[in-house]
Amino acid sequence: MTRSDVQLMLDVKAGDPQSFELLLQRYRTPLVNFLYRMVRSREQAEDLAQEVFLRVYRAREDYEPSAKFTTWLFRIATNLALNSLRDHRYQKLEISMDAPILADAEDGEERMMEVADEHPDIEQHLVEEARKKMIRHAIDKLPEKQRAAVLLHKYQELDYSEISKILRCSESALKSLLFRAYETLRVELAPLVAKAVKH
Amino acid sequence: MSCGRMETRILAYVDGRLKESEQAEVQKHLDGCAACRLRVNEFRAVSSLLDELPVIEPSGAFNARVHALVAAEPRKRSWFAWLTPSPRIAFVASMLLLATVWLGSRPVDHPPIAEQDLPVVESSDYDVISSFSPLSDLSQAPSDEDTNDSDTPQKM
């Protein structure tokens, strides 16, 4: 039988290292993806995700299951991401969110274009990559809090009450925040959206 | 329902997160509002586009780095931990205690007092008899009259 997150955390509190390992396995991918989409750097996202797990471990002795584990976990992650973005706001980051994917990198794109002339499949691949790049850039353009709200809502599938606790706002304020974010995305992705609506 | 009130419900409608009663209310509005119907379709398209982003996997060293961070954490000590002596201090204290007990229980090898050569003080200059002051040298013993002080109230 699968133990719940809260039960695992209580077991960690009781001194069971295996339970911490299970939580690590369960949440490492969602956390890294959330942070990657927040800070736009894979390396930084991994560093922040590791810091999240370290903070969970440090807080084990004081842990009380008063809220859902995911609310607590993603609150730590969101705070770290927002702090990191604030700290790096005035620094020109050379590492782009697109860096890990070769097709997104400028030199990678050039190389891919050369190959695309010879292989029509790669041309199709390039179109798909351009779509993804456009979507990523649309998310990047969102204000930080709106971005966090969209990521938690869309990819982590947390409910409104959880997200509002993470972002420390009311549920109605969160719904307005999400509406404004989707409006921005709708405008930024207008060509793709128009094409999808026609179909 | 007005188009303005749709703002807080449209996304929940797209995600199917509304309660049944709210769902029906929104549906009723959409049946009569082409603009909101279009907005719902556009939001559905945005949501689908967001699904296209790939999921990345953490690097191979991710878990190892978390383990290293956790292992480097200092162990927390409770409020009463200071009562528990460290092994080194406990060992030294035990050794000192054992040494004290051993030294205390050891038989002492002293000779009896009678057998000791006590020093004898000899003084030829001091003549006890001639130095003796008899009681007669003292002043006369007080008479009865002397004892009756004039200031002392007399019995009548």
Average pLDDT of the segment spanning B35-63: 94
pLDDT at A51 exceeding the cut of 60: yes
ipTM above 0.90, yes or no: no
Instruction: Tell whether A154 is within 8 A of chain B (Cβ).
Output: yes
CA distance A8 to chain B (A): 17
Question: Which of A87-101, A169-183, B58-72, B87-101 has the weakest average pLDDT?
Answer: A87-101
A2 vs A8, more confident: A8
Among B11, B49, B76, whose Cβ lies nearest the Cβ of A135?
B49
Q: Give chain B positions within 8 Å (CB) of A193.
A: 42, 45-46, 49
pLDDT for A117: 55
Above 90 in pLDDT, residue A77?
yes
pLDDT, residue B124, reads 59
What is the average per-residue pLDDT within B50-67? 94
Q: What is the mean pLDDT of residues A115-135?
A: 80
Lowest-confidence range among A14-23, A44-53, B70-79?
A: B70-79
User: Could you say which of A29, A42, A53 has the minimum Cβ distance to residue B66?
Assistant: A53
Q: What is the mean pLDDT of chain A?
A: 86
- Min Cα distance A94 → chain B (Å) is 20
Q: Do A50 and B66 touch (CB under 8 A)?
A: yes
**A93 CB-near residues (< 8 Å, 6+ apart):** A40, A41
Task: Pick the residue from chain B with its C-alpha nearest to A194.
Answer: B42
Tell me the average pLDDT of chain B.
Answer: 78
Q: Are the beta carbons of B8 and A176 separated by less than 8 Å?
A: yes
The alpha-helical segments, DSSP class H, found in chain A are 5-13, 17-39, 42-58, 69-87, 106-118, 120-140, 144-154, 160-166, 171-188, 190-198
- pLDDT of A111 over the 80 cut: no
Preferred mutation among B17, B26, B41, B42 to probe A, highest tally of A CBs within 10 A: B42
Q: B73 vs A36: CB contact, 8 Å cut-off?
A: no
Give me the residue from A155, A175, A192 closest to B11, CB to CB.
A175
Looking at residue B116, its pLDDT comes to 60
* Interface probe with A: pick from B5, B18, B57, B66, most Cβ of A within 10 Å: B66
Confidence of residue A26 (pLDDT cuts 50, 70, 90): very high
pLDDT > 90? residue B2 = no
Written as one string, the DSSP assignment of A82-110 is HHHHHHTTTS--SS-TTTTSGGGSHHHHH
State residue A98's pLDDT score: 55
HSE toward the beta carbon, residue A42, CA cutoff 13 A: 11
Which of the four pLDDT bands, split at 50, 70 and 90, describes residue A69? very high
